[in-house]
Each structure stands twice: as structure tokens, then as C-alpha cells.
Amino acid sequence: MLVSYNKIGKGYIMLSTYISMLIALLIFIVLFINSFDAISQVGLKLFTLEWNPSKNEYGILSMLYGTLSVTVIALTIAIPLGIGTAIFTSEILPSAYRIYVKSIIELLAGIPSIIYGLIGIAFFSTWIASFFELASGRTILTAGILLSIMILPTIVTLSDDAINNVPKKYREAAKGLGLYPFEVIKNTVLPIAKKDITGAILLALGRALGETMAVMLLIGSIDKIPTPFYNVLSPGQTITSKLGREIGESAFGSLHFSALNTMGFVLMLLVIILTLITQLYLRKSNRLYE
Amino acid sequence: MRNILFLSALILLFNACSKPNTKTITVAGSTTVLPVVSTAAEQYKKAHPDTRIIVNAGGSGVGVNQVGSQKIEIGMISRAITSQEIDQYPDTSFQTHSIGKDAVVPVVSSEIFDSGVTSLSLEQIAKIYRGEISNWKELNGPDKDILVIDKEKSRGTRHVFMKIVMGDKEADAPGADLVLGSNNEEQTAVVQSDAAIGMLSNAWLNEDVKGISIIMPDGEVIEPSLNNIINGSFPITRNLLLVTNGDPVGGARKFIDFILSKEGQDIVTQNGYVSIVQ
């Protein structure tokens, strides 16, 4: 009886793993097949600035630029803020309060992105517009800041777990050597937790790259790279916002549809490459404990 | 045991919810036509409780595509179907039903309107969208950069507007600062700015979003009033259309007939559009 249960259990968990893997693979394959038309017909012209379906021009550079710049802004704000918060909740805050502070921050993760978008469009973008004296608050910076708030809970929660998982004995050994609490955190706890914290950042990065609704409402949706290119106070377009706005009106099977799929494919490649680079980098820095 | 009881209660509840004989009509497309159809759907459902009507937005492009790929019964469009769209769906024979008339009105932020810019010629508007005029000063307004709001390329409002203003329904607008989608998204952006110009369906104008008059080549100034839309003197007008695949049958036919009836046409007028019987 027990043996058969074991087998069912094992089969079940194996099946779930295979299904998840298969889904990821299928999405990748479907995206590739659908983007094939655009890749073969548009070719290298995909990496130009002009996007105009009625003239068969499909340049994705401005969308790529938008996605990268929004993500960089979001991470620049969210990483220091998130890791700082995580150090505070796990190392300094008495553990009785930790759970409350953490749940409040995790609440941010539960808010649907359309709500962020609405608040962003109704209030946040108008503040940005009056603060920087802009004609419109729908800018790359606005989307980036809002995105940083959306990915903050991912970084805080997972980094907090990472820091909390560092075995006590290391802290005690460090304290025993006479280090100040600041030095214990900086020289002992953080280096050990580094790998898991990077994992947290990677997950947040994935969300930042893929977030659609809030970004779409806030970024201004114009297929242009601002001049000069670092002027993030101008509107732009991300891959996701472009997909969100245009996938419904492109006919299934058309070159337009295929070009949109290519953008999705590029986005997925981006995530995969970033994940691989981080994995390779982390493999070198071996874990201290175990 | 309690779980099983709970489950069966749940299943019973779901069964009770789905009536066996409900017919569903799905509608999607233009946000210009949307207010008319969704009000009509509510009233139609009162008289026909066994019919469910699901109305979604998305824009004219979405309306045509979804009828073309036969995902919905009725598409809402506020422009003509393009020849490319007809070529894309050889299996679909699009049939349009005119349910009302509307005007696309160039709109400006109330600050600009109040400062005295209340009328522009089509050529001036075209120059703004081409990026040749970029400050309100050049149009006798305040010294402020113009925030030029464009719309997504497949939107019906844009097709109609660009056809008349720039001569090509899919004209590029290199002067544009923002590209938005639905009428209410555009409306919000114009309200939030104090120096914006955009294009809106006549029914979406209000206190904060002022429609400007058009200066005709002969110097006559034409206001975007209902009268001028009815008598055809306002230059940017269009038909509000429903599109089906072939002759509509059953529920879809009855629903379209309802919109064309006196009661349905009253809804068209209440929403700020012009009835086709006028």
C-alpha cells in the first residue's frame, strides 16, 4: 500500500515538473515559429527605428531601448532600497515585528498592476509633470519609478529570506572577533547571502522586463528614442506596451503579427541571456556555508 | 464528508447560474461606438432576459479583426474597412450597418481654448501634426510648447481625422508627443495637460476638453455643433458602423434591428451622436 502511494506521489511530482518545463519550451517554440516570417522577410531591418506596419517597416530598436531604459531605472531605484530594507528587517528589527513589516511590504506585490497604472496616470504622472515642468508626465522615468515600486516587494522579501537563512554561527564567530554590527553585516552576512540576493534581483528583473499594463498606461507609447538618448523625461515605448497596444489589431498570420511575435521572442531571449550570465557569474563565487 | 457536501453545493450553485437557454452575442471594437452599443445592450437585455450580450472595447481595428477571424458576431467600427483588411480575411464577407453619425473634432486643453485659440484651419492642424508648428505662440496662443497627442494607427477616429487633415488615413505624424488609444485615454491626457491638442469623437467633448472650430478655405468658421454635423458642413464627419460576417442571423439580427429602431436611435442621440433617421 505504502509503496504504491510512493510511486503515485513520485509520478505526480515528476509529471508536474515535466508539464512546467514543457509549457516554457512550448512558449519559446511557438514564439519562434510565429516570428519566423518577420525574421526571414524583414531580416536585419528589424534593428532600425521605423515601425510602420502599413509600409511594412518593422524596426524594433526604439522598443528595445524603452524596455532596457525602464528596467535600468527600476532596478537602480529598487535594488538599494530593497536590499537596505531587507537588511533592516532581518538584522536590525526585533524578530517579533519582522513578520508585520514584511507582510505590509508584501502587500505591495498583491496589488494588481492595473491599479498601479491608474494611480500612476491619475496622480503620479501629474506630479512628475509639475515637478520637472513637463508638458506631459507620461515619460520613461515615470514608468521606471512606478515599476521600481512594483518590483520592490520581490527584492525585499527574497533578500530578507536570504539574509535570514545565513546560519547564526557565522554572525557569532564574526562578533567574537570583535567586529562591529555594521562590519558583521557587510563582511560576513552579505557575502554569504549574495547568491540568493542575486536570485531575488533576477526575479525582479524578470517582472520589470515583462510588466505591461502599468507601463503601457504611463510611458506615452511613442516609438521614438529620445534625443539625447539619456533624456528619460520624454515619452517612449517598451516591447510589452507595444505588444499590449497592437497585438489585438494585427491580423493573425500577417507580417505585422509576426513582427510583434519577434519582439516577444527578443524579450524572452533577453531574459534567458541575463539569467545565464548571472548563473555563470555566481557559479564562480562558491557558497561559504554548507 | 463536509468537503463533499460543500463541493456538491458549489456545483449546484454553478449549475443554477448558467441558464440552459441563454444565447450569447459578443461585440467588440471602437470606443466611439461603444457607449451606444453598451447602453443598447442593457435595454435589450431587459426585454430579452434570455440573451447575453458581451460588449468589449479595443478600437475599430480590433472590431474588424475579430469579426474577420470569426471570434465575435458583431464588430463596432467608426471608419470604413480598409482594402487590406478585406484581403486579409478572404473567408469573411464583411457587411456594415450604419447606426448613426458622428464628427471627429480637434480638441485642445481648456487653458488654450480660454486664451483665445478657438479655431484653426485644417492646414494649421496638419502643420502641428507634422511638427512644423510646435508652439501655441505661432497660433496667437500663449508661449507654450504644444503637446501633440496622436492615436494608435488602427483607431477609427485617427483614420477619419488624418484622411481629412493630412490627406492620408495612415499618415505619419512626426510632430506627435504621445500615442494613445481609446477616447477616454485621449480625453484624460488632454484634461491633464494645459497645452495639448488631440482628436476626439464629438460625444466625448466636455468642459475641460474643448472642441475647436474649423476655419474653411473660404474663411468661414464652422463650429462642431450637432446642427453642423447633421447638415454636413462640419468637414470631419463619419458613420458609426456595426460590422458582421454576411447577413446577421438570430440574436445578432434582432439586436441590430433594435439599435435601428426608434428606441435604439434615441440611445444614439442621448450619447451625443446624430441619429441616421434625421
Question: Smallest Cα–Cα separation from B102: which of B212, B215, B199, B230?
Answer: B230
Residues 163-222 of B with CB under 8 A from A: 170, 172, 176-181, 185, 188-189, 192-193, 195-196
B107 and B85 in a common domain: no
Note whether residue B159 is domain-resident. yes
Ramachandran angles phi, psi of A234, nearest 5°: -115, 160
Locus of grid cell 464577407: B93
B89 and B108 in a common domain: no
The model carries a pTM of 0.84
Write the residue in B84, B145, B178 that is nearest to A220 by C-beta: B178
Note whether residue B278 is domain-resident. no
| Count of residues making up chain B | 278
B204 and B156 in a common domain: yes
CATH code at position B35: 3.40.190.10
CB atoms B61 and A249 under 8 Å: yes
DSSP helix/strand/coil, A173 = helix
B121 and B72 in a common domain: no
Note whether residue B276 is domain-resident. no
Cα gap A230→A15, rounded to integer Å? 48
Count of CA atoms in the C-beta half-sphere (13 A) of B185: 25
Cα gap A204→A210, rounded to integer Å? 10
Cβ neighbors of B107 (< 8 A, separation 6 or more) are B190, B197, B198, B199, B200, B205, B209, B210, B211, B212
The terminus-to-terminus CA distance of chain B in angstroms comes to 67
Question: Smallest Cα–Cα separation from A144: which of A209, A49, A222?
Answer: A209
B247 and B161 in a common domain: no
Is the N-terminal amide bond of A228 cis, ω within 30° of 0?
Answer: yes
Q: Which chain B residues touch A49 with a CB distance below 8 Å?
A: none
B126 and B63 in a common domain: no
CB atoms B88 and A251 under 8 Å: yes
B207 and B127 in a common domain: yes
Cα gap B68→B93, rounded to integer Å? 8
B137 and B122 in a common domain: yes
B190 and B111 in a common domain: yes
CB atoms A251 and B193 under 8 Å: no
Note whether residue B205 is domain-resident. yes
Locus of grid cell 471594437: B29
Write the residue in B84, B154, B189 that is nearest to A136 by C-beta: B189
B210 and B127 in a common domain: yes
Question: Smallest Cα–Cα separation from A267: which of A18, A43, A27?
Answer: A27
- pLDDT tens per residue across all 290 residues of chain A: 566 778 888 999 999 999 999 999 999 999 999 999 999 998 888 999 989 888 888 999 999 999 999 999 999 999 999 999 999 999 999 989 988 998 999 898 899 999 999 999 999 999 999 999 988 899 999 999 999 999 999 999 999 999 999 999 999 999 999 999 899 999 999 998 988 899 899 999 998 999 999 999 999 989 989 888 889 999 999 999 999 998 887 878 889 999 999 999 999 999 899 888 888 877 765 555 54
Cα gap A220→A235, rounded to integer Å? 5
B129 and B198 in a common domain: yes
Grid cell in block for residue A79 = 535594488
Q: Is B257:B250 a contact under the CB 8 Å cutoff?
A: no
Domains of chain A: 2-284 (1.10.3720.10)
B210 and B115 in a common domain: yes
Which ipTM did the prediction report?
0.81
Which amino acid is residue B142, in one-letter code?
P
Q: Could you list the residue range(s) of the whole structural domain that residue B12 is in?
A: 3-101+239-270
User: What is the distance in angstroms between the Cα of B242 and the nearest Cα belonging to chain A?
Assistant: 17
Q: Which chain A residues touch B193 with a CB distance below 8 Å?
A: 129, 135-136
HEC letters along B93-128: CEEEEEEEEEEEEEEEEHHHHHCCCCEEEHHHHHHH
| Count of residues making up chain A | 290
Q: Which chain A residues touch B83 with a CB distance below 8 Å?
A: none
Please check whether residue B69 touches A, CB under 8 A. yes
Q: Which chain B residues touch A53 with a CB distance below 8 Å?
A: 153
